[in-house]
Structure 1
Amino acid sequence: MKKVLFSILFIGNYVASQAQEKDSTILKNTDLHEVIIRGVNNSADVSSEYTSRIPLKNLENPQVTHSVNSKLILNRNYFVQYNMLSNVTGVSPSWAGVSPYYTVRGFRTRSNFRNGILGYVASDIDPVNIAQLDVVKGPSGTLFGSSMTVFGGVINRVTVKPQDDNFTSITLAGGNNNFQRATFDVNTKLDTESKGLMRITGAYTNKESFQDQGVYQNLFLAPSLLIRYPIS
């Protein structure tokens, strides 16, 4: 009886040791050391760099600035600028003829600036090449140094620029009153060392209305080229 009990205990201990050794082997083979996740933020806010005129971080900029980024523009399918400005408090459209005027804190102004430089636009252009729309509120807009600024604020358009990557984006939209819109955004590297970058954005928009003055047709194309030269 003692021999049989000893044999059972020996077999049980042997099976348990073999299972433990097998489990430890599995754990060693599937040991996880580290996980690296990389991503790119395509909607980085660059408003502080343009509005303060010096390289400040957003938290260090004391100016009151509201921004409409590219993701919001794409999700809302904006194709006119005054619709984009509806997301900024204190700004309202104030039309006068065919040239769009806006009221910023009670002062009338236009969307006069492009990338921080005066670029007068007499009509409401297609915003397909706008990466970000900034509204600098208050008298700090006079830092742009032009007779086109007002004490209410400044509207600045930040346009898209060539990126160090290859990508293509195409969007189609449709609606009532025969609304049709197609946009494309193509970015490519011209060489393997990324010394030459090219980007082309464009849009076609057709919109009708029950009124005679509601017909809208527009074709927009904006190519941009970036050449990098090494500084010795």
Structure 2
Amino acid sequence: MLFDVRLQFLMLLSCSGVILFTSVKTTIFLAGIALLFLGCQQLWKPLFYWMIIYTSLLIAYSLANQYLKISSFGYISIILFIILRISPTLIIASSLAKVPSGKLLASLQRMRIPDSLLLTLTVALRFFPVLKMEAKIINENAVVRRVSYKQLGNWLRVTRLFEYNIVPLLMRTIRLADDLSSSAATRGIDAPFKKTTIYIIRFSAIDSIGFILLTFSLMTPFI
């Protein structure tokens, strides 16, 4: 059970804008709304995954503020703070990652988004899931060659880790953007005529819950 894609996209835009005006405490409230957004869609695996990650980030940020007040380590708190701020947006994006490409395109076209912007949004929303899959493949190859970052002994040779894990991923990243753009063009995203779709794009009764969560997310800066 997933909310309408247009609702998910509006929720993503809402979180992206609201995080600019929130503190760490209100960001926790916003993250709670985002997690509830996943739960209402019965996306249990991403929900459990993000709960662990966000809780770990909060603990790390608290410890960093308490014990790493030395200026030379101050950047750690800043990095954790930035990650905490953008986490609600990433949580909502993980929901959109479950939507089929065709349905995503058809829903965004219903919102009258210009094709040039639509192509950018589609590639951006599909980029990270595909990149994650590519990283998994690269790591599996690294495990066979015993140069994986999961093998603790390799951390003594950081340059080797970088060469066999990060460099291939960077090279794939460059090509992925082209591949995703070509895929969208193949589906006729830039065709000059009206598009059709096999998906039924309409709001349902369950989407009312999503709109309530969307309203709460917009009210977060005023809490």
Compute the TM-score of the two structures, normalised by the length of structure 2: 0.21
Pick the structure with more strand per residue: 1
Compute the TM-score of the two structures, normalised by the length of structure 1: 0.21
Pick the structure with more helix per residue: 2
More relative contact order, 1 or 2 (CA 8 Å, 6+ apart) = 2
